[in-house]
Structure 1
Amino acid sequence: MQAVAAWALTGTVLAACVSVGEAQPFITCHVENGPSPELTMHHQFTPHDLLSLSVKIVETHGMCRFNITWILNADASIRYLNATKICVSPASASRACVRCDYSEEFESQTRPDGQNWQFYYVGFSVQEITKYFIEASNIPPANILEDMPKKEIILTSPGCQDSMLKHCNTCIEMGSLWDPEISACYTESEVEVNFTASGFSPNYFIFLCESDDCIDHTVSNKKKNDTRVSVRIPLNDKSRKTLIELIPYFPKCRNDCVRYSDYMEMCPEESVSDPDVTNLLGTYLYALAALLLVVCVLAAILYLKRRHDTAKSQGFLYPAMKQIPTTTVLIVYSPEVCFQHTVLGFADFLHERCHSEVIIDAWQKRRIVEIGPVQWFATQREIAEKIIFLTPGPRSAACDAACERTIESHKKDSECMFTLAFNLFCSDLKNQSSPHKYMVVSFNETNLAEQLPSPLNSCPKYFLMKDIGSFCRDLCFSRNLGSGEGRKSKCSGRFKINLKPLV
């Protein structure tokens, strides 16, 4: 009985017991779990039943509660109405009631605007997936042996995936808002798992499965806030596990919490060596490169001296020794672009023909997992001199099968990166900070405007191979501006001569 009283009292303290529409009369609600005193009295006149009763679930201060609304009948019996009693009976607990007393007698059957009198009460906490019996009746009640008029509602509350309940404390503590963002890959000897741990779950169970063969691993996290966790699990039997299942342990759901699963990919190859050996090897490589550079310079000097043998030829050495400036390009591609043929082919073209350094998210997956996609893209945005939005190109029967596989495997990541890039572009466009950085490149001129979000139409657009000349000139011009050479450059002519079609 103490638990029932506490449940009802909590609803009363947090309730907003005021009338809707007119300010008078007010209602005052308090707990009354037992029978009302009026049941032992005889009444010459009693009020009519309620006209209607409705219930909805609302969130107040992190708690989900019932908002119970009732409307009074518009008849003369309203003059004898003293209070309305509301009782809620959850399937898992005992019945709890509140009594809402009207501050004074009603002077009219309806409000001054002609509408029926209407009141509401916010209280009684709501648990997920629970059946409730809600009833309301007017006081004084009918006399003994007479019909007891009342309104009843039976409802079952939704689960924690409901758009309202998922934001309430009782569901948050069961992981309703938790998004682990699982990423996992495997090598021949181990599996690397990364996920975001919740501050409400201290322990996690990781299952690595191949068909019905599974191995388990336990992870503990004592931090009270959400944090990124990285775990390496050795594979003793050298088997290739392809499915990962992550099971949290929230105190409110314990072993019955929502599980998350994902498929693994092969980890990208990464050179691992002793730091001392790496440093020594780097020193030798730098020394070898310096020696080779000196030999080349001496050979050039001897050649020029032999051919010209003038002081003018010696002064010509300095510009000849300059390094060709490079442009750093970040490629952003939509989910429909074929990664294997279109993205990699375009990246190869930029590297070989335009002497550009190319950045693609698929080449830095491990780094993205470590720092998150937003921080990674913000860093690359500062590094890149040009950001190119690459749109889908024409498809051929020869590459349809390969395109479907690569599009499906990269769809989630490319959609995320494309959205991040588009949002940052809109921010730059609004603030007019660096709109010159962005370009749009397409291999298909047909309906390009329909394929792009409308803000991207303000960017320079190039159709390869039709606009290859202007694209190369503009890309080279942005590079020369950074190196202080201006527009005078021979790179556009060189591109036109050496360009080969992309497949």
Structure 2
Amino acid sequence: MWSFMFIFFSSVAFQVTSDEIKVECSKYYEFPPISDVSPSLLVDLKVNLLTVGGICVLNISWAINIDASIQYLTGTRLMIDGQPTYLCKYHPSLAEANLTGLKQKWFYHLVETSDGLPLVQVNNLPLPPPGSGTTSKFVTLDIRCPKPSTPTPTLVPAGPVTEPDTPAELSTSPLRTEHVTVAIFGGLAGLLILCSCFIIYKNCGANIAKSIGFKSLFTSPTAPVPVLMVYSAENSAFQQAVLALAEFLQWHGGCSVAVDMWQQKKIAELGPMRWLVEQVKVADRVLIVCPQPSFQPSHSLPNHSSPQPSIPAAAHDLYPLILNMVASHAKSASELAKFWVVQLGEQQDKQPSNLALELRACKTFCLMKNLNKLCRSLHKERQDIKNISHLILRPGISYSRKSTRKLREPVEKLSRHQTSISSESKPLKSVVMSV
């Protein structure tokens, strides 16, 4: 008791000497901000299991590095498998607090949990640009919540205590046997129901979740799938859809995405050809993003000779280079399997007559229709090598429609743009035929 009070008052005294910095954590559903100037990596991360009032909670404690970069710190993001993401903000900010003489500062947050093997990942915001190296600390904890102890029931005699051989006491024996029999059969029936529910969940869980607006993704907790994205330079609407797809795969799809929009400085140093070759070597998959085959450029689209500022100049060089690379691997099915085609927008023509000849042998996905299929396929090989215990304890994660909103909006905008172009081109063709 005295040791507990000493630790409590010591922690209170420490908080007061640090300008009483308070941390407030709330649920966070947005994409994390990215900036060229960002705070340094966390010094340390510790996760402990506590029991508060008979409830299992995770004590997530992290240490902030007190250096010049804290002026850029806007918050800390906590990601826990199977639970919502939390954003923790500091009041006052660390840049305004008096932290003279401190090299690091510890904070903590308590989150209710249950049995399992959750992965806890923590990073400071804003994040550095993709490809900058390690940005977060993570810990995997094996949670086994203690079971609450149940009091031993007290048996009350059915008859008078002074008459142990009366018929009243003798009649309790068949009653007890009946209770034991009911308990055994009830336990077996409950076990059978649980097994049936588990089998139904494993076979039909994905379809049930999909019917209520959720989709399931398999993810690798420690090593994201390296993915390279190359796209055709079409227009600003298509550019925004490509960027939204890259951000979704980076933050929700368990991938490490390389795209020219995020690595323009490196492309300028190496050149488009060398950068593309190096990225293809390290990537597990190369996603070639293009519009639907029915999409035809029109006067409303930007001219390739004078690209808009939102489209990097390297995009005009990388797309022809990747087509040549795909053509060079056409005779090898194993090498060609690395290249996938992703079409953005509503599919209007089942025959890909306008798709580049080099891409017609590649595996093709259509968004938003095949988004879940694309994510599952990216993780299929790594999912096959996981052991059975990992599959039972960590079957996957789910994402809702809200998390795909930033991807769905630009893709639907692109679909409307394609539909308007198609409707404008039909009268033009009829006039030409009549002449």
Q: Which has the higher strand share?
A: 1
Give the structure, 1 or 2, with the largest relative contact order (CA under 8 Å, sep 6 or more): 2
Q: Same fold (TM over 0.5)?
A: no
Largest Rg, 1 or 2: 1
TM-score normalised by length of structure 1:
0.34
TM-score normalised by length of structure 2:
0.39
Q: Which has the higher helix share?
A: 2
